[in-house]
Amino acid sequence: MGLSALLARDDLALRQIAGPTAPDPAIHWAHASEMADPYPYLLGGELLLTAGMHIPEAADPAATAYFEGYVGRIVAGGGAALGFGVAPVHDTVPRALVAACDAYGLPLVEVPPRTTFSGVARAVWQLMAEVRLAELRRVTEAQQSLAAAASRPDPVPSVLRRLAQRVGGRAVLYGPDGTEMAAAGRETGAPEALAALAAVVRADHGPSSASDTTTPGTHLTAYALGTGSGFALGVATPERTSGDHTIASVAAVLLTLLTHLSGEHRSGSGAARSSALVRLLLGAAPETVAPLLGGAPDHRWTVVHARPEAPGAPASALATAFGSPLVDIDGDVVRILLPADREPAPQPGWTCGVSAPAGPREWPDADVQAARALARARATRSPLVRHGERAALSDLVPEADAAAHARTLLAPVAATPALVETLRTWLSLHGSWDRTAVALAVHRNTVRQRIARCAALLDTDLDDPDVRMELWFALKRH
């Protein structure tokens, strides 16, 4: 907030009587003090208010020296302006104080008797709130404008044009070799300096690294676009505000995505995934498609099922954390296919189920394993549950015989998938009604009704541990 905005308030009737009027000094807060040396208590940017109670009664020569020391300490402490209250201590502002403020270049404001210091402080906070609200509105509108520009047929030039308009300067996209690939906005007086600054952040290879500097009349900032991409965004503006930095940061994120997609297109990885999808749709065997996804024919994969703890969580962020672009969003469940050598870790805000490593032909089984692991994770309130891969007693029975036994045993309920899944979940959770209800997202009474229906159709006692064990083995083969 500038001092001029405070002086423009008719209700305060403030008047600047000394010090420069241009450039408009920025006021960050108001502080009243009657200390002879306020320096230790200044943070910088204050409008310091005083009624002059600390001024000693002395002859003009002594008063001149006192005021020069007083004003000098305010300037050294970063004070932006001095407000002197007329009455009740002094009828007028001391001439020596006016001279000292002129000498040190400190704006001096006369506060009339009817205006209280608390009223001035309240006005400062009100004006600052208005400035913050206006800046927030400007940033929000800029974000929406940049997002719209990114969806245009020519997204990169459009984003650069919008960015240059919003910050009132120039925006330049530099390629990995340092060449200027696209630019928008008015020319600046320091293109070489901006290019040099962009080279600095490219060398950092940081996902969000930024560097800035100031040349006469121009503020320069550069942002690295992604990790190791080599692209950089350079921005030149007449001045620097926090809102400009936020707007430029949003543009940098959008340009990172756009340059990544264009680079991916050039490298052929995006085309390879599209080819893999087409081949699957046309009936190709999964093991012949897997190499197009970045793995050898015998490469093993892991399936992850994840659900967000709060609605609206971005699936793209989860995919980035797991390092795989192979993502499917199915309702409120996100499914990710990733190479088995990438160990998935718990992710804040997500509940995950992970399958055992599987070859391409086993992807459907791995998908089922991940779904069951997710259900168990939700029921046990665990951030991540992995499907077990250890040998079991059921492995001692030939697969064909086990499958035939499972079909016969579960035949009475097999036609109703809801009953089968409820029975499977209930048994996996040791007969807990509440945890089964959570895992299936149904009411606990619904679980009770379904389990009672299973017991009736199977004509068995589900409280018998031997029955539960046999049913569990059958369900694993179902």
Residues 102 and 222 in one domain: no
Residue 271 is assigned to a structural domain of this protein: no
Q: What is the pLDDT of residue 60?
A: 62
Indicate whether 477 pLDDT > 50.
Answer: yes
What would the pLDDT profile of 160-217 be if each residue is shown by its tens digit?
A: 999 999 988 899 988 877 788 888 988 766 788 888 887 877 666 544 556 677 777 7
The per-residue pLDDT for 148 is: 85
* Neighbour order of strands in the sheet with 384-386: 327-330, 333-339, 301-308, 350-354, 384-386
Whether the full predicted model's pTM is greater than 0.75, yes or no, is no
Give the whole-angstrom CA distance, residue 310 versus residue 213. 40
Would you place residue 67 in the very low, low, confident or very high pLDDT band (cuts 50, 70, 90)?
Answer: very high
Clarify whether residues 151 and 258 are in a common domain: yes
Q: For 110-119, 252-261, 371-380, which range has the lowest pLDDT when averaged over its residues?
A: 252-261
Mean pLDDT, residues 399-417: 87
Residues 29 and 46 grouped into a single domain: yes
Residue-level pLDDT at 63: 79
Residue 61 predicted with pLDDT over 70 = no
Q: What is the mean pLDDT of the chain?
A: 83
Above 50 in pLDDT, residue 341? yes
Question: What pLDDT score was predicted for residue 425?
Answer: 92
Q: What is the CATH number of the domain that holds 47?
A: 3.40.1390.20
Note whether 225 and 328 are same-domain residues.
no
Question: Does 282 fall in a domain?
Answer: no
DSSP-derived secondary structure letter, 304: E
Q: What percent of the chain has pLDDT over 90?
A: 32
* DSSP-assigned states of every residue in 408-435: HHHHHHHT-HHHHHHHHHHHHTTT-HHH
The secondary element (H helix, E strand) that includes residue 222 is strand 218-224
pLDDT band (50, 70, 90) for residue 268:
very low
Q: Are residues 417 and 454 in the same domain?
A: yes
Highest-confidence segment of 195-209, 310-324, 402-416: 402-416
pLDDT of res. 266: 46
Q: Is residue 279 part of a domain?
A: no
Could you say which of 89, 115, 141 is where a domain stops? 115
Q: Which CATH number fits the domain that encloses residue 440?
A: 1.10.10.2840
In tens, the pLDDT along 364-382 reads 889 989 988 898 888 778 8
Last residue of a domain, one of 348, 365, 386: 386
Nearest alpha carbon to residue 462 among 472, 398, 296, 266: 472
Q: Backbone phi, then psi, for 459, in 5-degree steps?
A: 55, 55
Q: How many helices (H) and strands (E) does the chain have?
A: 16, 15
**Domain containing 176: what range?**
129-265
Number of domains in the chain: 4
Question: Over 80: is that where the pLDDT of 427 sits?
Answer: yes
Q: Are residues 199 and 86 in the same domain?
A: no
Exposure b/e, 412-445, CB count within 10 A at least 16 = b: bbeeeeebbbbbbbbbbbeebbebbbbbbeeeee
| Domain final residue, candidates 334, 367, 386 | 386
The pLDDT tens digits of the residues spanning 78-100 come to 999 999 999 888 999 999 999 99
Among 285-294, 321-330, 349-358, 449-458, the minimum mean pLDDT is found in 285-294
- Contact between 202 and 229 under an 8 Å Cβ cutoff? The reply is no
Whether the predicted pLDDT of 277 surpasses 90: no
How crowded is residue 194: how many other Cβ atoms within 10 Å of its Cβ? 26
Would you say residue 40 lies in a domain?
yes
